[in-house]
Amino acid sequence: MQKKFITNLAIVLFLNLLIKPIWIFGIDRAVQNEVGAADYGEYFALFNFSFLLNIILDFGITNFNNKNIAQNNHLLTKHFSSLVALKLGLAVIYIIATLVCGLVIGYDIRLTKLLMVCGFNQFLLTFILYLRSNLAGLHLFKTDSLISVLDRLIMIPVCSIFLFGHVTSHKMDIMTYVYTQTIAYFVTAVITFLIVMTKTHTFKITWNRPFSIMILKKSIPFAILVLLMTFYNRIDTVMLERMLPATEEANQFGFSGAIQTGIYAQAYRLLDATNMIAFLFAGLLLPIFSRMLKYKESVEQLVKLSFTLLITPAIVIAIGCTFYRNELMGMLYHEHIDQSAPVFSLLMGCFMAVSTTYIFGTLLTANGNLKELNILAASAMLLNITLNLFLIPHLYAFGSAAAALITQFSMAIAQVIIAQRKFKFRINYRLLLTLFIFSSGVVIINFLTKSFHYNPGKWFVNFGVMVILSILWAFFTRLISIKSMFRALKYG
């Protein structure tokens, strides 16, 4: 299984690192610079608000289906038609609920229109993820990898026409941006649906009430987990936009809800990009862990391998982004650099915690420890909301970032402790010591490269040297071992 994990991880990372950075830094960043922090901040808040009721759209079906198909491949043909019908029914309920909640929270007609398009895009996204869960469950990782970048492959050229092509007189605005997403997600959903159809023997959309109730009951623990995790990961921008004033004076001095959310979005973009890597790990690990646990195979070595492969770049990225925060923000954006840099520093620290939860949380999900995960997620949600209520009025976007950092590390530590107890893992003191030595070394490397012949105009040279030295340091400390990787590839 280690061999399968490494080879498929290499493929999915190659495709995503080839395509998604172009999208994040070339297109999404350009859109924010084009429309401004306030307009993008409103969109970002509404985008995250549309996530909050995502539980209705998915109800934990994707994770449940991924695990179920991985352990019982024959269930794809048996369940596919009924699950598609169930997903469509849930989509109608979701759209209505999102509209009602948007009106209750006070969104005007303009924002409600944007929210509805974001909501429809959420439906398409979750439908694609459900379809991909069938491919992952069947261990068709190469096909799933191609699908994972298809929507971006469509959006990049279309958005480029409006941003850089000067083919049309219509300038890029937020509505054009979200409509482009709609087109790309729809085409991706259709193609993925047709691929999954080739893996089934029959398909006919039928509403099977007893089956739907049975699936929803089985999915409830997954659904609760998705809901709670969505809240503590996405509520911050909604609270920022709603809690801070929306007056002309607030806009003028940069502390309005829309502008502060835009600043947070600037800082969050790189975290979103790096989280993509951790998400890819989880997407591969869930079906692999599920199958290994079904056949009572030991997962300890795979957990160690996947954790070290993910936490090593996470440490380098988090520490490097802290030292070079102003330079990176200045490279990416035209305004609010000084405000977004400290927010960026805190958010990138979250990447180490998020990387940990994607490994150990995925393992606990595959093992069916949903009760423990739900208790943790509920605690994290309460902690995050409480911290945001206290910190946002005083520290604005920086306070929200601090709340995220505290919440993510609390969740990560708790999941590691539970996994260690559930699976009787030996406490690997050698690995912990190596991580400490490696992290300390990366801090020293950053300090030296930042201060040695530092030229503000050529900071990227120092940054590149830092990355190279940190990679060499990872091999020197044997945190990553090429020999161990080849052994895993050879013997599996």
Domain assignments of the chain as residue spans, ordered by start: 2-426
Q: How far apart are CA 435 and CA 423, in angstroms?
A: 22
Q: What's the confidence (pLDDT) of residue 69?
A: 66
| Measured distance between the N- and C-terminal CA atoms of the chain, rounded to whole angstroms | 6
Q: What's the confidence (pLDDT) of residue 467?
A: 92
Q: How far apart are CA 99 and CA 42, in angstroms?
A: 16
Q: Is 74 helix (H, G, I), strand (E, B) or coil?
A: coil
Residues sharing a CB contact under 8 Å with residue 385, sequence separation 6 or more, in sequence order: 231, 232, 235, 239
Residue-level pLDDT, tens digit, the chain, 492 residues = 556 666 766 777 777 777 877 887 788 888 888 888 778 888 888 888 887 777 788 777 776 766 666 666 666 666 677 777 888 888 899 999 988 988 888 888 888 888 899 999 999 998 898 888 878 777 777 788 888 889 989 999 888 888 776 666 667 888 888 999 999 999 999 999 888 888 776 667 777 777 777 777 777 777 788 778 877 777 888 888 888 876 666 666 567 777 888 888 888 888 888 887 887 777 778 878 888 888 888 888 888 888 998 999 999 999 999 999 998 888 888 778 888 899 999 999 999 999 999 899 999 988 888 889 999 999 999 999 999 999 998 888 899 999 999 999 999 999 999 999 999 888 889 999 999 999 999 999 999 988 876 666 678 888 999 999 999 999 999 887 766 655 555 544
Other Cβ atoms less than 10 A from the Cβ of 46: the count is 26
Q: How far apart are CA 396 and CA 159, in angstroms?
A: 31
The length of the chain is 492
* Short-list 32, 442, 482, CA closest to 258: 32
Residue 173 Cα to chain centre, angstroms: 25
Task: Give 280-309 as a DSSP string.
Answer: HHHHHHHHHHHHHHHTT---HHHHHHHHHH
Q: How far apart are CA 107 and CA 46, in angstroms?
A: 10
Q: How far apart are CA 20 and CA 152, in angstroms?
A: 7
Are 12 and 143 in contact by the 8 Å Cβ rule? The answer is no
Q: How far apart are CA 94 and CA 385, in angstroms?
A: 23
Q: How far apart are CA 54 and CA 48, in angstroms?
A: 10
Q: How far apart are CA 51 and CA 64, in angstroms?
A: 19
Reported for 378-381, long-range contacts at CB under 8 A and 24+ positions apart, including other chains, are: 378/228, 379/410, 379/414, 380/228, 380/229, 380/232, 380/407, 380/410, 380/411, 381/228, 381/231, 381/232, 381/235
- Buried b / exposed e over 191-213, threshold 16 CB at 10 Å, is bbbebbeebeeeeeeeeeeebbe
Q: What's the confidence (pLDDT) of residue 491?
A: 43
Q: What angle do CA 396, 237, 383 make, to 5 degrees?
A: 80
* Short-list 123, 423, 149, CA closest to 279: 149
Answer yes or no: pTM beyond 0.85.
no
Residues sharing a CB contact under 8 Å with residue 463, sequence separation 6 or more, in sequence order: 320, 324, 327, 449
Q: How far apart are CA 80 and CA 421, in angstroms?
A: 36
Tokens representing 238 are 């909604």
Q: What's the confidence (pLDDT) of residue 247?
A: 64
Other Cβ atoms less than 10 A from the Cβ of 259: the count is 29
- DSSP single-letter state for residue 426: -
Q: How far apart are CA 325 and CA 344, in angstroms?
A: 7
Q: How far apart are CA 68 and CA 137, in angstroms?
A: 7
Q: How far apart are CA 137 and CA 71, in angstroms?
A: 8
Q: How far apart are CA 351 and CA 356, in angstroms?
A: 9
Are 242 and 49 in contact by the 8 Å Cβ rule? The answer is no
